[in-house]
């Protein structure tokens, strides 16, 4: 599949999902660069190669600190294409609220995409309402505040990773993930606070959603639930794409991101 070249140089900032790290973008990064763009992939606190352990990351704002630090250091006149996958939609949303003037478009790839009317935690609670404990197979889910409250953290199990999370990925990608996967917090208590996201900031940033049609983690009906409850400016779909689309269908994802970046970089809401 031939890659398109961007009309002008863009800066893509890639935010990984739950338990992952910057490493999960390794196939997509060279494709975006080959098309003439800059790319930054970040490790959130306690993930990937980040020095902190999960018990040292007590709040969601400590979790997103690497992303906030990066956004703060951007040149004043630079705007980025901010891309969040899966749980990465939560950090992306918080960055949109804090740095709306530095984002040309935010792209949610099979991701949690909250709105302003309900706290982001509502989406996490809805996800667990729709999924049974059996569907999580050998994942370890922690309830440090009691079973009557939402889960506090989790780590994916190898059987779940092989059958569901890394479905249709190459064996070497699955083995890499088994070596690098780390536990992740949900931060539901922090994300349950009202007014975390506002129309005046979060709502000012252009948003696009990329649906992965064969995703068995964030199922298509749940992705559509996100879209219906917080309508973005545009929706794209990738047919046959499972959850880890950046590994199984990197070219298709690259094309979608390039198209969105080219369309919305010329549109300025500020």
Instruction: Give the residue numbers marked as catalytic.
Output: 86, 215, 243
Distances in whole angstroms, Cα of residue 253 to Cα of each of 68, 83, 239, 250, 258: 25, 11, 11, 5, 9
| DSSP symbol at 149 | S
Determine phi and psi for 105, rounding to 5 degrees.
-160, 145
- Cα–Cα dist 220/241, whole Å: 10
- CA angle 75–14–143, rounded 5-degree value: 120
Sign (positive or negative) of CA dihedral 202, 204, 205, 206: positive
Structure tokens of 202? 């979060």
Query: How far is 100 from 79, CA to CA, in rounded Å?
Result: 9
Q: Which of 10, 9, 231 is nearest to 108 (CA)?
A: 231
């Amino acid at each position: 599949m031939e890659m398109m070249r961007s009309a002008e140089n863009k800066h893509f900032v890639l935010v990984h999902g739950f338990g992952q790290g910057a490493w999960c973008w390794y196939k997509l990064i060279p494709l975006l660069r080959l098309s003439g763009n800059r790319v930054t992939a970040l490790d959130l606190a306690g993930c990937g190669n980040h020095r902190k352990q999960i018990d040292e990351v007590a709040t969601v704002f400590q979790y997103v600190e690497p992303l906030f630090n990066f956004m703060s250091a951007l040149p004043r006149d630079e705007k980025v294409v901010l891309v969040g996958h899966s749980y990465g939609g939560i950090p992306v949303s918080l960055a949109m609220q804090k740095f709306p003037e530095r984002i040309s478009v935010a792209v949610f790839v099979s991701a949690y995409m909250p709105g302003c009317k309900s706290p982001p935690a509502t989406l996490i609670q809805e996800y667990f309402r729709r999924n049974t404990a059996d569907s999580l197979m050998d994942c370890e889910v922690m309830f440090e505040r009691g079973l009557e409250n939402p889960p506090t953290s989790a780590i994916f199990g190898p059987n779940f990773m092989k059958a569901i999370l890394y479905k249709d990925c190459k064996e070497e990608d699955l083995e890499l993930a088994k070596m690098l996967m780390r536990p992740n917090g949900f931060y539901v208590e922090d994300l349950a606070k009202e007014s975390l996201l506002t129309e005046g900031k979060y709502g000012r940033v252009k948003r696009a959603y990329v649906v992965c049609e064969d995703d068995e983690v964030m199922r298509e009906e749940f992705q559509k639930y996100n879209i219906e409850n917080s309508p973005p400016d545009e929706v794209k779909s990738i047919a046959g794409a499972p959850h880890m689309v950046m590994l199984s269908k990197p070219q298709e994802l690259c094309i979608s991101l390039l198209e969105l970046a080219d369309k919305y970089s010329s549109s300025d809401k500020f």
